[in-house]
Amino acid sequence: MKILPVSFYQRARWLLQPMNSGAYRPWLIERGSLTKRLQSKTRLFQVNPLLVHDGLPYLDESILLGLVPHHQALLRDVMLMDDKQALVFAHSVLPHASLRGTWRGLSRLGNQPLGAALFADPRVLRAPLQYKKICQHHVLYQQVAKHIKPLPSCLWARRSVFKLKSAYKHQSILVTEVFLPAVIELK
């Protein structure tokens, strides 16, 4: 068995409050639908799919979802946009066991927002938000950097597990949102 160094666990640690997040704070602590808020603040809200594929979630994501490490899930990366301006990078982990029943169609959303589907169903419960200031060494920052340049040295992210009360066991998905500088310019 491989033991990971302490530094791995420190980098993986997420916060319960977005400490010193400045102008990002109102966006980070939003408990309602981020999609709905962005739609109300933008001229032309769009979801730009970047990557949807079966892959391995990051270890901290697997642990949070109660998945066996090295077990594949559907990974979905999209950019939430106002016309051509990127506002939020969203990374979702959808375990295959969760893509049944009501959530069967989540694997085929295309350019439709995941948030709209989640917040429209009153049976969906959301775990408390977790926050992290991610910098250039973080894998999510690196994912964003593939699509957006230039970037500040650090970005704020939040994540939350959504659970569906249904006949199926363990129906949960993880949604992580990385906030880009343009989002704080929205009034």
Residue with tokens 């998905």: 173
- Helix, strand, coil percent content, the chain, rounded in steps of 5: 30, 30, 35
Task: Indicate the domain borders of the chain.
Answer: 6-185
Average pLDDT over residues 2-15: 52
36 membership: H or E segment, kind and range: helix 34-41
Side-chain half-sphere CA neighbours of 133 within 13 A: 11
Average pLDDT over residues 89-97: 96
What was the pLDDT predicted at 13? Answer: 85
CATH class of 6-185: alpha beta
What was the pLDDT predicted at 101? Answer: 87
DSSP structure string for 72-119: -EEEEEEEEEETTEEEEEEEEEE-GGGSSGGGGGGGG-TTS-HHHHHH
pTM of the model: 0.90
Q: Are 76 and 109 in contact, with CB atoms under 8 Å apart?
A: yes
* Count of other CB atoms within 10 angstroms of residue 23: 12
> Which of 89-98, 100-109, 131-140 has the least mean pLDDT?
100-109
